[in-house]
Structure 1
Amino acid sequence: MTDSESDLNSTSSSIHSDSDLADESNRDQPVAPPSEGASMEHYQEYIQYLQLQHGKLQQCNAMLNENNNVLNAQQLKCSRKHPPKVSSSNTISSASQLSSAGPSTASTSSKNSDTEKLILSAAKKYSITTEMFLPDKVIFQTNCPDPPAEISNPNHYAKKSMEKDTLVTELYASIDFVLHPRMQTNAFYNQFRTGMQQARSSFINGLRSVAGSIFNMLNEYFMSKFDRNSVPQVTQLIRWETGKGKAYDVFKAPILYPDHVVNEKRVFKDWLVFAKVIKVVVCGRMSLFPKARSGPPPYTKIWQLTSCTPGLIAFGITSMIFVLSPDQEFSGDGVGAISSILYHSVF
């Protein structure tokens, strides 16, 4: 077994372990704010929910502080090697600008910046672990069901109304409770959309840079401007045909099967390829290499992931199909500009 395979195995086992922690997180379901006439049990459940969210925020803040310490240390090293040259005129100008801005303005600006960062962070996690594509605006404008829908219950797909309730519940569960009052505003929706787009773009760019080692091909095949139609062995991995993108069936893609032989009974059995893609998602592209340099903590640690969510698997496989397709850019509407593949409905 190679070092990289051993590393992947250790990552896979750590992601799928600690089932007790996973069960505990499943109990952390959103609770709608009690309305007038709500029962005492409802108030108690809501208070418990707020306490859990408060604990999660404290853990998140501790993790962010740790990240900031790492970044500050790295920045300090760089500044010692290359001290910035600041002219006296720039110093005087900066000082005058600071003195002219009142304390209330600076405080408001800081709060808005912190809120925006919190929204972008929530959007990134939601895109990667829950839903790859932005839900309709009406989902953001809908109050969380009371009681919340059972996300893990497969019956929530039985009716459109149940499916909507589940989508709303998932959205509320993915967003810190302090942001819930903002969720129905246009500003929140636009910032959340930006965060999801940034998450997809960042990951796909990273995946392209290491796709050659994942699929055992030349890395240049996976650069955004490369004509993958000129290399049939690439597009054959997903069995894409010109003019048939809208009718594309992901479960006929050979890349989903061992030895690239389509057999519905063995779908997703080529686990090593999936493990590499998922590892790039949650641990970064350099995690594929045993002697990678240390850097900021991976998402597995920041988000305390203990298992692969269905959304994470769908995110990884949809991205894999994309980088093997002729498409050059991942459009926000989830439709391939060249392939016509409907990525938003692959799963």
Structure 2
Amino acid sequence: LKMLQVQMQKLQEDNRTIKEENKTLHAEKPKRKQRANAHDELSVHEETISIYARKYGMMIEMFPSSDLLNKRLPDSPTPFDSTDRYATASTQESAFLDELYRHFPTLLHKVMESSYFSDLVMKSIPDARANEIKKLRGVAGDIFDLPSKYFTNTSYDRANVPEIQRLLGVMSSTNLAYKTFPPVLFPELKEDRSLKTVFGNWLLLARILKASLHGITSLHHASSGRGAHTNSMKWSVQQVMPGCIAWAAVLAIFLLSPDTEFSSAGIGKRSTISYKDLFFTYKKVLVTKWKTKRVVQIVTNIDHYIFKAAQLSALDSAVHEDFTNTIDHALAALDMESSDDGSETAADVTGPGTPTAA
């Protein structure tokens, strides 16, 4: 009898334990359902976020800050295209958020403060960039008018190639001091310390962007860029922006450099070039000078080469060549004019201060 009483007491205790566990499970059930629903709500936007993130990384911001990606848009943000954008760290952050929220569609704004959003964006950008670099290596010889073997073989000793040294402004392979604004960014490789003619080598930048937006075959054949799988079609891109011109300039330097991989940190392993700093500096110059006559002309040239000239048939190639010559003459004429916005040296745009939004 005593043994039965002990067993009965044990069963009662077990029953109480089970009841307590059931209460806990019942209480947590709505929370688990909420968490599952929250994840489902985010994951349903995965493809849309990825598409816009890939476009964002090429067209707008090459090195976004993961911390800023989760911040809420201020009530009165600094306009992303304002010349005051780079006045202070605060205006940089505000303009970054203005540009971010303008880029991603409204339907995503409610999920943009989640870590799911920032994690996906920070993964999509380097993945897309690696894919573009792989494509560009295959046609880099045509882009730079150099032997393709310099680029298709990632381990090729580019540091010792005289033509590449000239493009990067490097004196010798033993003294690899890379410039922020190398000759490759200037027309006829003529450096200008005032930066008045920087990005004047617009055709090189246009080739890089055209290959990335319309596909590598567009460099050799007339193409409307309307193929279903081209970036220009997927992203509905019809004109260039400061971010993508800066992106093209950075990739031009990377392709010429001895680096074999583009690290997510933005520092060249072999060259020690800070591609992150280059992008910030180039975009800053372009944003602040976007409405000057010279930059307007450069942007017009690039847009025509990528989006207008792509629609020309093979029979119109001679007309396109004449137009390109006209563009070059127009830029040369601008060089003869006194600067309408004042001269600016490399030191002025690469001064102290760590970029907040890059």
Letter in 2 for 1:268: F
Compute the TM-score of the two structures, normalised by the length of structure 1. 0.62
Matches within 5 A, 1:1-347: 114-135=44-65, 137-223=66-152, 224-240=154-170, 248-251=178-181, 253-263=182-192, 264-290=195-221, 295-346=227-278, 347=281
Q: Deviations over 1:44-82 (max 9, x none)?
A: xxxxxxxxxxxxxxxxxxxxxxxxxxxxxxxxxxxxxxx
Separation in structure 1 between the aligned mates of residue 173 and residue 163 of structure 2, nearest angstrom: 15
Separation in structure 2 between the aligned mates of residue 271 and residue 112 of structure 1, nearest angstrom: 41
Separation in structure 1 between the aligned mates of residue 147 and residue 133 of structure 2, nearest angstrom: 17
Separation in structure 2 between the aligned mates of residue 140 and residue 109 of structure 1, nearest angstrom: 19
| Structure 2 residues not aligned, in runs of 5+ | 1-36, 282-358
Separation in structure 2 between the aligned mates of residue 316 and residue 204 of structure 1, nearest angstrom: 11
Compute the TM-score of the two structures, normalised by the length of structure 2. 0.61
Q: Deviations over 1:234-269 (max 9, x none)?
A: 233112466877x74332x11112222223443222
| Structure 1 residues not aligned, in runs of 5+ | 1-106
Separation in structure 2 between the aligned mates of residue 175 and residue 270 of structure 1, nearest angstrom: 31
Q: Is the 8 A contact 2:211 2:218 kept in 1?
A: yes
Q: Is the 8 A contact 2:85 2:92 kept in 1?
A: yes
Q: Deviations over 1:195-253 (max 9, x none)?
A: 101121111111111010111111110132222123232233112466877x74332x1
Q: Alignment partner of 1:237: what SS? A: helix
Distance change in 2, residues 1:142/1:113 (3 Å): closer
Give 1:130 deviation, angstroms. Answer: 0.6
Q: Is the 8 A contact 1:334 1:343 kept in 2?
A: yes
Q: Is the 8 A contact 1:238 1:250 kept in 2?
A: no
Q: Is the 8 A contact 2:267 2:275 kept in 1?
A: yes
Q: Is the 8 A contact 1:212 1:219 kept in 2?
A: yes
Give 1:122 deviation, angstroms. Answer: 1.3
Distance change in 2, residues 1:261/1:298 (3 Å): same
Q: Is the 8 A contact 2:186 2:201 kept in 1?
A: yes
Q: Is the 8 A contact 1:229 1:326 kept in 2?
A: yes
Q: Alignment partner of 1:131: what SS? A: coil
- Which one has the largest radius of gyration? 2
Count of residue pairs brought into register by the alignment: 238
Q: Is the 8 A contact 2:53 2:124 kept in 1?
A: yes
Letter in 1 for 2:134: N
Give 1:114 deviation, angstroms. Answer: 4.5
Q: Is the 8 A contact 1:242 1:339 kept in 2?
A: no
Give 1:304 deviation, angstroms. Answer: 2.9
Letter in 2 for 1:331: S
Q: Is the 8 A contact 1:134 1:196 kept in 2?
A: no
Instruction: Tell me the C-alpha RMSD between the 2 structures.
Output: 2.6
Give 1:343 deviation, angstroms. Answer: 0.3
Give 1:110 deviation, angstroms. Answer: 8.9
Q: Is the 8 A contact 1:281 1:316 kept in 2?
A: no
Distance change in 2, residues 1:243/1:344 (3 Å): farther
Q: Percent identity?
A: 32
Q: Alignment partner of 1:236: what SS? A: helix
Q: Is the 8 A contact 1:149 1:165 kept in 2?
A: yes
Separation in structure 1 between the aligned mates of residue 129 and residue 113 of structure 2, nearest angstrom: 23
Q: Which structure has the higher relative contact order (CA within 8 Å, separation 6+)?
A: 1
Separation in structure 2 between the aligned mates of residue 330 and residue 226 of structure 1, nearest angstrom: 16
